[in-house]
Structure 1
């Protein structure tokens, strides 16, 4: 029998209960509450077995299989309308029966390999193998981001750089994100107070599927007698069957804005209750994919949900509404909510009218002055620009006020850690205190140097307009903003975007160069997103007792395999699908995301921020949001220090300003329903049915995510991809489309033959 040692969660819990007086269930300390959350997610309910095999042949075969398949399919589906994403929760669920099947049918033979040997079947399929399979396939989320940019360059700008550039630039963004996560690991991964809520559904599902400590879970929580496994199975089956209704049979259930059905042509009703182009003031939906559009609300802390909900009410339902109906920036002539930009006739802006494709999509100033300035809907202007600017400055001030000591300590420690981890040094430190040799900091530094070399070589060898100093500037942007973005994501499971900021910086530095704009965006923004996911997987590995060096190896292999799989599928699709990236493409392969990137890069690369903010529309006023964002954290911080037990300590300014970063294309309905569900479970059920919440909340989230993901894939392949959906139509599939909201009606109407604005 292998020896085991107590999980450090158990040690934390024991220390808390010995050192802190218990004041009742309603007033748990923050640390005690954190322990309860981790246990509810299946973390620390069983002792670790350090002898469990991890890097098994089974793990490598299943992991690489899912990495190839999921990376390839997600890359292919990103080219299609409607699009589809195979999430990590789907892989986590599907990998389990494959692992168990391997356990049952593959013989336990030992294969000699020189001085080493490995077993074909090392025994039971364990959670560590399962988790590493998930981590490897989770790279599929990252590859589609880069695939969109490569597609934009080749299909819309007509520059085919070839396999060499594609491999170098894709691996570069992977490695830079990987290095950011590794270098800042002591700040954003190691601290125990940073839970990373996004991994809780993963740990809950793995412990449920592997039947870990079911008896202990049952005795710990005084609630239903149904096991977590039975509960997961029941919810998963019900959710799988139900999702066919809002996704295919009765799509109106997805956007249940019945006031708009009653008054389909009433502008005011549709603008207030509309869920496509309106405010979404009645956020009713029966579609889990709509509720979880910004992430599962069952995983988000209630304080974070409240901050975002208040932000929705204040910025969108009060400020944006006031600006819209007073026609600020001529927004009254446009839909209240849209992710498109418009011209001065109220039509979608035709960017190709103002650029010359023969000259590399340079701006034709005469055509631009003759055609129209760019006009934005109020939610687009306010959230994508004003609040984005405020978020950037508030993040830096917030970190300086709240985390300055942590950042300063990390800056002092990193050089020491680098020196102490060099080969030949006597100390082999281990930050997780489990005796496993940690990943030396210099490993990440080497990866960083390699990434910079590849990036600079790629942009200088191929004519993509971005120069070596642009690569360094983009990396500097990522380096500055990664720590605060990761700290917010680690505590609230909400991503704050810096994409528009990267576009604007590139627009000033490389004015008129559209390709430089897209690759500055790729290196400055996409690397930070990848870095967040890498850090999240590092935290997941820590929770699952996976040694960091083994995780390092798996992530490196996954990067290479995922890159080759994604690029292989991408090149096949762009060269073999008839009419790809055009409106005449077969099976809807019109490249919607790349087309959106194309329009955005033309605006910021060709027109440029200098013209954009210096015109007479008044968009220069949005720059004042930088000042607003820098000021707001200061009084909140002072009042929080002065009144530590007041609500001021719960106000999170970066979330209050930047928590709506998915809007648009997300709507008030997405955020409203997300907030309602999150608060019902995170406050009402957690406080009144504590045992039920502890036992089932995270399992419920896993069941909903995985079942909807699998049902979505099946519906897509059998109904939409085959064209069968075109032959199915009734009132429930059309009623939400026959409304003013769906058509994008406006408050003010432009007379025929006239124009608005300047």
Structure 2
């Protein structure tokens, strides 16, 4: 390989020399195997070698991260409004950026680009693994759908109020970046300890090392003597071809609700065994995106808690509520929906009850009939409260001692994790950077709420931030250890509902700032752990994530505007898109919550008169159950009581408040095969194949979705739309448009024209 190498540059002006000047010699810990991580999965896949001379922030980084950040933010925002939700795979970015990066290393000149007092070479040398990983981290940050676009979408679609471009972009960027300052404080407790695994990063570590053929990956061979990457491409290609069946040719295989075929026009059967608008009891999905590679490597105990909660809630509790018609469950037509209704089952629209400033007109509302929600939607709030309180209680009981130990020892103790010791080579990001960044974002947050009519006063932003500070540590610790965590969205809605009743926009803004500060802190901490495993300098991590957040937020906003302008009528319709393409379920859920907690207020929706006052007991139940389990662990210490995780169980019980429950049974099957049978009885095979196979299958499925989006679904041009052929597994509506399988009479009568199982009002 003929690669151009950068000659030594002047240290006072070359940005690359800054990294090299602070780097120590190459570190190889293979001689001290006893120094390896105490976590078995980490020992199996994360190398304990490092080359501190590798440079991360390069000209190639800026170009490739910008290019893929734009693509990722646009595609994920597009999917956000679709019925069949997909993702822009980071594995696609890793593969494509590797090809482009190595190509740029061959052809770019070694001339320098000078900006102010800094200069950088167009080609500093071979495209290295750390440079590659930092590009992926920047793109993954940019490719998340900014939570603030929900506020902008809801106010535009349902309130006919559009915030201007400057206010919208400031809102998006502040909500995306506010959590970064928090991460700077919490990294000592949520990144450095070995117990903070952040499971999804292990796949990335294997993938990057396999692509760059580093260390032991040079000698490891797969089946038939294949290299890691040949093995990856074979299974990636196979999944790419298969996914054309469920994603394009036969959407029936996404929602394979076979029990519905027994009695297709029976409302009871359709409501309970339909996985599109119901719980999908015993339904299958042959779409890998509904199952996901994480089922192959997340801890089995955590997965069993999650799926156990789902099955208990949606396969047991829901049918009981349905057949007993508890709280009028049948009156609403669909058992799982985020919409609000009058008590007679008629859809509720709040717009006529709002004042010009979008606050609730209490006189008009009180003069009309009462409003309610479906029982399962209310139970979703109850279980969310259980999960949040349970998270705090569980972490205090089972992990509090370890966290306090980390608090006291911080960095430099004798039992410090080997990867933390290796990262001492690199200068840390000063706390002042994080503090200054946080203060600037906080000031802009208060400004945008006061200036752009978001109904949330400056002190409301401060309260939202205080709430996120209090709860981020236990929530992120739960995510790092188990791979699952609750959110702050429900508790922030509840607090703001009591604090600022009758103001739905204020409720959305408070939720966004309170929840996203925690969520973005979690994202940064997870990426910092990936940098920890990959030995990426912390300052390079800081630059890449800030860069990705800004680029992604801007293009999220632009894409949102295009979609809203083109599909407004379909997105606001309660019936959705008859073609089954555009649904806008996520903004509808967001708006439904804003109506419950913001406009109507928890005082009305969860009063004793409304029948849903029991939801508050979720806090008490969630707080008590982990304490009971902790007490049992003291009585019978040989039993792993901490694995009965109330937070994860309750999270599963509230996971599908708006339907789309496909993939549960398939996920359980995959989890048992990989995390029980293979991990227990064939551990060598598991450690060798699992993570690269997971990456291959996820990448192949994501490639298919991207290919369909670009070439068949009009991603490049509406003139390029290619409809799948009509056959028994791909229903077509009378107007000639493709419909989702759930609309077929084989699984529920169209337009609610049931022949049996109806409820006599």
In terms of mean alpha carbon deviation, does 595-604 or 635-644 score higher? 595-604
Work out whether 1:396 is the aligned partner of 2:395.
no
Partner of 2:586: 593
What secondary structure sits across from 2:679 in the alignment? helix
Q: Mapping of 1:516-527 within 5 angstroms?
A: 516-527=506-517
Partner of 1:738: 745
Question: Residues 605-633 of structure 1: CA distance to partner in whole angstroms, max 9, x if unpaired?
Answer: 11111011115341002222221111101
Q: CA deviation at 1:521?
A: 1.1
Q: Mapping of 1:456-495 within 5 angstroms?
A: 456-495=446-485
Q: CA deviation at 1:147?
A: 1.7
Work out whether 1:609 is the aligned partner of 2:602.
yes
Partner of 1:686: 679
Distance 1:145 1:638 in 2: 39
1:14 to 15, 34, 37: 34
Contact 1:485 1:496 in 2 (8 A): yes
Work out whether 1:385 is the aligned partner of 2:381.
yes
In terms of mean alpha carbon deviation, does 259-268 or 446-455 score higher? 259-268
Contact 2:498 2:602 in 1 (8 A): yes
Contact 2:98 2:132 in 1 (8 A): yes
Partner of 1:44: 47
CA distance 1:474–1:344, shift in 2 (3 Å) = same
Q: CA deviation at 1:376?
A: 1.0
Q: CA deviation at 1:497?
A: 2.1
Partner of 1:533: 523
Contact 1:478 1:524 in 2 (8 A): yes
CA distance 1:654–1:448, shift in 2 (3 Å) = same
Work out whether 1:545 is the aligned partner of 2:547.
no
Work out whether 1:449 is the aligned partner of 2:439.
yes
Partner of 2:242: 242
Distance 1:282 1:470 in 2: 45
CA distance 1:620–1:731, shift in 2 (3 Å) = same
2:60 to 58, 61, 73: 58
1:324 to 322, 325, 333: 322
CA distance 1:562–1:254, shift in 2 (3 Å) = closer
Q: CA deviation at 1:504?
A: 1.6
Partner of 2:14: none
CA distance 1:547–1:147, shift in 2 (3 Å) = same
What secondary structure sits across from 2:712 in the alignment? helix
What secondary structure sits across from 2:668 in the alignment? helix
Partner of 1:728: 725
Distance 1:506 1:644 in 2: 42
Q: CA deviation at 1:381?
A: 2.4
Contact 1:390 1:657 in 2 (8 A): yes
Partner of 1:120: 122
Q: TM-score, structure 2 length as denominator?
A: 0.85
Question: Residues 114-160 of structure 1: CA distance to partner in whole angstroms, max 9, x if unpaired?
Answer: 87543322222111111111111112343432222222223432333
Question: Residues 449-479 of structure 1: CA distance to partner in whole angstroms, max 9, x if unpaired?
Answer: 2122111122222322101221111112211
Q: CA deviation at 1:406?
A: 4.6
CA distance 1:468–1:684, shift in 2 (3 Å) = same
Partner of 2:694: 701
Partner of 1:556: 546
Distance 2:514 2:93 in 1: 29
CA distance 1:609–1:118, shift in 2 (3 Å) = same
What secondary structure sits across from 2:146 in the alignment? helix
Question: Residues 310-342 of structure 1: CA distance to partner in whole angstroms, max 9, x if unpaired?
Answer: 323433333343333333222243457413335
Partner of 1:251: 251
Partner of 1:280: 280
Distance 2:248 2:273 in 1: 23
In terms of mean alpha carbon deviation, does 239-248 or 124-133 score higher? 124-133
Contact 2:267 2:757 in 1 (8 A): no
Q: What count of residue pairs does the alignment treat as equivalent?
A: 714
CA distance 1:372–1:741, shift in 2 (3 Å) = farther
Partner of 2:373: 375
Distance 1:725 1:266 in 2: 34
Work out whether 1:305 is the aligned partner of 2:303.
yes
Partner of 2:17: none
Question: Residues 189-211 of structure 1: CA distance to partner in whole angstroms, max 9, x if unpaired?
Answer: 11112111111222222122222
Partner of 1:424: none
In terms of mean alpha carbon deviation, does 303-312 or 366-375 score higher? 366-375
Q: 5+ unaligned residues in a row in structure 2: which ranges? A: 6-22, 413-419, 732-740
Distance 2:356 2:168 in 1: 24
In terms of mean alpha carbon deviation, does 530-539 or 562-571 score higher? 562-571
In terms of mean alpha carbon deviation, does 529-538 or 398-407 score higher? 398-407
Work out whether 1:205 is the aligned partner of 2:207.
yes
Q: 5+ unaligned residues in a row in structure 1: which ranges? A: 17-30, 418-429
Distance 1:394 1:524 in 2: 19
Contact 2:456 2:506 in 1 (8 A): yes
Contact 2:158 2:351 in 1 (8 A): no
What secondary structure sits across from 1:58 in the alignment? helix
Partner of 1:715: 708
Question: Residues 432-455 of structure 1: CA distance to partner in whole angstroms, max 9, x if unpaired?
Answer: 543211112232122222122111
RMSD, aligned α-carbons: 3.3
Partner of 1:423: none
CA distance 1:258–1:433, shift in 2 (3 Å) = closer
Partner of 2:499: 509
Q: CA deviation at 1:301?
A: 1.0
What secondary structure sits across from 1:448 in the alignment? helix
Partner of 1:25: none
Distance 1:392 1:280 in 2: 26
Q: CA deviation at 1:85?
A: 3.2
Contact 2:398 2:642 in 1 (8 A): no
What secondary structure sits across from 2:120 in the alignment? strand
CA distance 1:217–1:157, shift in 2 (3 Å) = farther
Contact 1:7 1:44 in 2 (8 A): no
In terms of mean alpha carbon deviation, does 572-581 or 535-544 score higher? 572-581
Distance 1:511 1:180 in 2: 29
Contact 1:62 1:133 in 2 (8 A): yes
Contact 2:388 2:486 in 1 (8 A): no
Distance 1:368 1:312 in 2: 37
Partner of 2:162: 160
Distance 1:271 1:580 in 2: 24
Contact 1:340 1:348 in 2 (8 A): no
CA distance 1:320–1:592, shift in 2 (3 Å) = closer
Q: CA deviation at 1:249?
A: 0.7
Question: Residues 324-382 of structure 1: CA distance to partner in whole angstroms, max 9, x if unpaired?
Answer: 3333222243457413335356646322365236452524554565344213142x222
Contact 1:142 1:530 in 2 (8 A): no
Q: CA deviation at 1:63?
A: 0.9
In terms of mean alpha carbon deviation, does 664-673 or 548-557 score higher? 664-673
Partner of 2:641: 648
Q: Mapping of 1:575-590 within 5 angstroms?
A: none
In terms of mean alpha carbon deviation, does 571-580 or 76-85 score higher? 571-580
Contact 1:329 1:619 in 2 (8 A): no
Distance 2:682 2:351 in 1: 60
Contact 2:332 2:341 in 1 (8 A): no
